[in-house]
Amino acid sequence: SILTDVFRLVSPGSGTRAEFENGIWDYYFPSISVRRRDGVGFGGSDYLTSWIGPDSVALGSETKANAYVFESMVTPFAGGSGFPTGGGGGSSGGASGSKVLTGVFIDSDSGWSTLGTFTVAGVPPSPAITATVSAGTGGGADSTVQFRLIQSSGGAVVAGPSGSVLIPGSLVESDLVYLSGTGSQSGSVSYALQKRTVGGGGTTGVTIQIDISIGQAL
C-alpha cells in the first residue's frame, strides 16, 4: 500500500498520453484537441465521474455544459453536446440530441459556412426534423444571421432557414431560431449546422446551442 497526501503519474511528453493525480485520470489527445477525465465527484455540484470535451477547457473547470459527453452521479446521469439521446429506428423510431458551440465568430460573409457537425443515431426513414438554435451574447457588432441544417453526406438541406434570423451581438438575452424540414437518410446520420450573415457582422465569442428532434414523417 501507498500512503501519501499527493500521488501523481505524469507523462514527460506533450502528445497523446494519460496522467493520474489524486484519484483522477486525465487522457490527452492533442491531435484532435480533445481531453478526457475520469474520476469520482469532480466538477463541483455536477458530481462528474467522466468527462470528454475540448482541451481548451482548463483542468478543474469541467462541467456538464462544456462537455461533449459526460457521466454524472446526479440527474441526468449522462449527456453532453455530442451525446444523442432517444434511439430506436424503423417506422416508429426517433432520436434527439444537442450540441454546444463556444467562441463562435459571426463574420460578414454572405455565403453559407459550417459552424459545427454532429451525429445522431436512431434516425428513422424519411425523418421529420425540427431544431432550435439559441445563442448567447458576444462582443462587437450585431449580426443578422440565417441558419440551416444539412446532411453532411451529400450536403442535402434538411431544415431551414425559413427566413429565421438571429441577432446575438450586444443583446443581453438569448435569441432562438426554429428550423424544420425532412431528411432522406436513416440510421446514424451526420449533420452540419451552417450559417450565413445577411446583415451586420464582426460578432465574436458567441455561444450557440442546437437542439434537434427527429421523428417519422407522416
pLDDT tens for 110-167 read 789 988 888 887 788 888 888 888 877 677 777 788 899 999 887 889 998 877 777 7
> When comparing pLDDT for 79 and 116, which is higher?
116
Q: What is the 3-state secondary structure (H, E, C) of the chain?
A: CCCCCCCEECCCCCCCEEEEECCEEEEEEHHHCEEEEEEEEECHHHCEEEEEEECCCCCCCCCCCCCCEEEECCCCCEECCCCCEEECCHHHCEEEEEEEEEEEEECCCCCCEEEEEEEEEEECCCEEEEEEEEECCCEECCEEEEEEEEECCCCCEEECCCCCCECCCCCCCCEEEEEEEECCCCEEEEEEEEEEEEEECCEEEEEEEEEEEEEECC
With 0.75 as the threshold, say if the pTM is over it.
Answer: no
> When comparing pLDDT for 75 and 70, which is higher?
70
> When comparing pLDDT for 85 and 45, which is higher?
45
Task: Give pLDDT, residue 150.
Answer: 93
Q: How many CB atoms lie within 10 A of CB 38?
A: 18
Task: Give pLDDT, residue 54.
Answer: 86
* pLDDT for 26 beyond 90: yes
Strands 127-135 and 175-182: antiparallel
pLDDT tens for 85-120 read 433 333 345 677 778 888 888 888 778 998 888 888
Task: Give pLDDT, residue 161.
Answer: 85
> How buried is 65 (Cβ within 10 angstroms: 0-12 exposed, 13-18 middle, 19+ buried)?
middle
Q: Tell me which amino acid residue 170 is.
A: S
Q: Judge contact between 158 and 182, C-beta under 8 A.
A: yes
Task: Give pLDDT, residue 27.
Answer: 93
